[in-house]
């Protein structure tokens, strides 16, 4: 007797639901994305008290009786007809699994009236059991109501968090989708109370103001950049002095789809690193428009992650455009006496692997043309403080420049441009044995020649164990070289992407240049003459990014005249 049999459709749908329907927020996401694909101009999300019910109402094109009967079946969709359509898909949904999966773990009621039809229809599917299709007088559009979610799946029900926490997740989803589509009017109602409403007039700033407040929206810096290959990057970033303790103030949209690509997101965060305090995250909302054939959204059941062609080049563009925008419109961290001093980042040599400079990644990674001078060439030194800081007068106020960090930046870019030979090898007195993971081993196999050229000498000892016999000279003074190779391989293989340490850098060259710059730069407690201070400021003003040293510390802070006047009780 055969042991293999075909799964019952209800069981198959419930297995699919485990991938698509993780929590109530994922139900809301799927339903709202269906409404957006239906060209809705207005979407209302109504959440019942204690999350007993979820309802999404839209003014989209609606469905007739035949479509309504089919839409709750698995793998039924209006988005695709041929396999080739996957390469050109611009819709948010296309798998045809969402409604069937939701209906298998809840009581789903869907009512819809197609545009131009005289009457609508309603269908109820309770935990996979279909009811009878009934006519229903209603306006054009679609209403989907979900009740008793996970009632017959106690393990899944127990895994849910408290009602406020689950609603918080729903709120984040609705906010992200509303910002992504400012042309659609969104309403979010919870327990009979209106929580969120966006104007739906097509202006992203209007949607951002509705979600995060007008004060933040008025401070946002616009971005609009087109690459030579036709990719379009637009959106907004907040100035570097505005941050929050989590990433809830971020949005990345590729071809209109809200995505959670950590590699691209960390590229943007790296542009903020020299000027944003530790444990703070930047605000940004960026839309990237690419040819559909260069985007593959079919890599995740919920389509939250996408695969992008030439991702390295796109990461470089994101970094450079955001960095330029911040430098031109929000150049220096302001001095805030009431706030705690920004914590300096550790300067350990392994941290140099996480330096923020990007390698040039083909034509698309070319530096955008600057819109204006940095404005720091006008800095005039007034003196030196504790043989450590330079006090200078400039257009924005009084500047305090860390002479070592500033000189590090100058040397770093000097080494980078001239290609100084700082990648020589330093043999170890005692070799270091490392047992690599499968991913690390694959990365070593793929990059063995490059690692050797950069100064690593690594021999195989059998299995996935290797012996590190030499390291790049820049790391010769480390107390211990145990784990250094693994850190490098993890960066190369992308294992650190979620923690934010993996990003599109020319990691090896940047690390060596940073170490060489640190050793060559003038140190603290070194007296400087006025001529030397002026020359250092002149050199700093000519660098690509004067705001921070290669290790992420700021080179300067500014005390504005307005702040001084305020503290002395003057009005101007």
What's the rounded mean pLDDT across residues 307-327? 84
Please say whether the beta carbons of 364 and 221 come within 8 A: no
pLDDT at 157 over 80: yes
Band of residue 145 on the pLDDT scale cut at 50, 70, 90: very high
Band of residue 2 on the pLDDT scale cut at 50, 70, 90: low
CA distance linking residue 485 with residue 476, whole number of Å: 13
pLDDT at 423 over 90: no
Q: Per residue in 466-487, pLDDT tens?
A: 999 988 765 666 667 777 787 7
Q: Which residue has the higher pLDDT, 72 or 32?
A: 32
pLDDT the model gives residue 238: 92
Among 130-134, 205-209, 552-556, the minimum mean pLDDT is found in 552-556
Q: DSSP assignment, residue 267?
A: H
Among 47-56, 142-151, 335-344, 550-559, the minimum mean pLDDT is found in 335-344
pLDDT the model gives residue 507: 45
pLDDT the model gives residue 405: 87
- The reported pTM is 0.64
DSSP assignment of 154-221 equals: HHHHHHS--HHHHHHHHHHHHHHHHHH-TTSEEEEEETTEEEEE---SS-HHHHHHHHH-HHHHHHPE
What's the rounded mean pLDDT across residues 447-460? 82
How far CA 446 is from CA of 437, 449, 450, 451, in Å, comes to: 14, 8, 9, 10
Q: Going by C-beta distance under 8 Å and a sequence separation of 6 or more, which residues neighbour residue 331?
A: 374, 375, 376, 396, 547
Q: DSSP assignment, residue 548?
A: B
Q: Per residue in 348-389, pLDDT tens?
A: 332 332 332 233 233 333 333 333 345 567 789 999 998 899
Q: Which residue has the higher pLDDT, 396 or 532?
A: 532
pLDDT at 119 over 80: yes
pLDDT at 217 over 70: yes
CA 177 to chain centre: 15
Among 126-135, 187-196, 259-268, 269-278, the minimum mean pLDDT is found in 269-278
pLDDT the model gives residue 352: 32
pLDDT at 198 over 90: yes
Q: DSSP assignment, residue 87?
A: G
Band of residue 436 on the pLDDT scale cut at 50, 70, 90: confident
Question: Domains plus CATH for the chain?
Answer: 9-196 (3.30.565.10), 220-330 (3.30.230.10), 332-572 (3.30.1540.20)
What's the rounded mean pLDDT across residues 492-518? 48
Among 27-41, 181-195, 520-534, the minimum mean pLDDT is found in 520-534
Q: How many CA atoms lie within 13 A of 342 on its CB side?
A: 24
pLDDT the model gives residue 11: 62
Please say whether the beta carbons of 281 and 249 come within 8 A: yes
What's the rounded mean pLDDT across residues 555-559? 85
């Amino acid at each position: 007797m055969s042991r293999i049999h075909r799964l019952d459709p209800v069981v198959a749908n419930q297995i699919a639901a485990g991938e698509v329907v993780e929590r109530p927020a994922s139900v809301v996401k799927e339903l709202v994305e269906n409404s957006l694909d239906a060209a809705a101009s207005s979407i209302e999300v109504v959440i019942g008290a204690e999350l007993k019910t979820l309802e999404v109402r839209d003014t989209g094109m609606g469905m007739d009786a035949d479509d309504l009967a089919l839409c709750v079946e698995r793998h039924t969709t209006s988005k695709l007809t041929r396999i080739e359509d996957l390469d050109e898909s611009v819709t948010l949904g296309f798998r045809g699994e969402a409604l069937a999966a939701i209906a298998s773990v809840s009581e789903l009621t869907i009512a819809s009236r197609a545009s131009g039809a005289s009457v609508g229809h309603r269908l109820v599917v309770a935990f996979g059991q279909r009811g009878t299709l009934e006519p229903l007088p209603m306006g054009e559009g679609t209403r989907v109501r979900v009740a008793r979610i996970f009632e017959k799946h106690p393990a899944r029900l127990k895994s849910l968090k408290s009602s406020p926490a689950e609603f918080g997740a729903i709120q984040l989803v609705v906010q992200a989708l509303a910002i992504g589509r400012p042309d659609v009017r969104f309403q979010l109602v919870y327990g009979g109370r209106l929580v969120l409403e966006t104007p739906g007039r097509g202006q992203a700033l209007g949607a951002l103001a509705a979600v995060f407040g007008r004060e933040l929206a008025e401070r946002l810096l616009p971005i609009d950049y087109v690459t030579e290959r036709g990719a379009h990057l637009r959106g907004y970033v907040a100035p570097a002095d505005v941050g929050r303790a989590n990433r809830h103030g971020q949005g990345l949209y590729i071809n209109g789809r809200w995505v959670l690509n950590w590699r691209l997101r960390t590229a943007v965060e790296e542009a903020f690193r020299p000027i944003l305090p530790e444990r703070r995250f930047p605000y940004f909302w960026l839309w990237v428009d690419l040819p559909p054939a260069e985007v593959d959204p079919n890599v995740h059941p919920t389509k939250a992650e996408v695969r992008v062609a030439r991702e390295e080049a796109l990461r470089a563009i994101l970094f450079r455009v955001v960095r330029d925008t911040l430098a031109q419109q929000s150049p220096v961290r302001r001095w805030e006496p009431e706030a705690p001093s920004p914590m300096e980042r550790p300067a350990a040599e392994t941290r140099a692997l996480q330096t923020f400079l990007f390698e040039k990644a083909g034509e698309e990674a070319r530096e955008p043309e600057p819109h204006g001078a940095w404005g720091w060439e006008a800095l005039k030194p007034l003196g030196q403080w504790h043989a450590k800081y330079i006090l200078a007068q400039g257009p924005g106020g009084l500047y305090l420049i860390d002479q070592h960090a500033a000189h590090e930046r100058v040397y770093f870019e000097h080494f980078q441009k001239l290609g100084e030979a700082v990648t020589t090898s330093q043999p170890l007195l005692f070799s270091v044995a490392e047992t690599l993971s499968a991913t690390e081993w694959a990365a070593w196999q793929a990059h063995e020649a490059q690692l050797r050229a950069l100064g690593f000498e690594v021999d195989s000892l059998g299995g996935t164990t290797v012996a590190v016999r030499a390291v790049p000279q820049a790391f010769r003074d480390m107390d211990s070289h145990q784990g250094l190779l693994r850190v490098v391989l993890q960066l190369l293989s992308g294992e650190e992407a979620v923690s934010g340490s993996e990003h599109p850098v020319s990691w090896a060259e940047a690390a060596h240049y940073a170490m060489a710059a640190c050793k060559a730069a003038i140190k603290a407690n070194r007296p400087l003459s006025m001529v030397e201070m002026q020359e250092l400021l002149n050199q700093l003003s000519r660098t690509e990014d004067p705001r921070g040293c290669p290790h992420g510390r700021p080179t300067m802070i500014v005390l504005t005249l307005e702040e001084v006047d305020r503290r002395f009780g003057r009005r101007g």
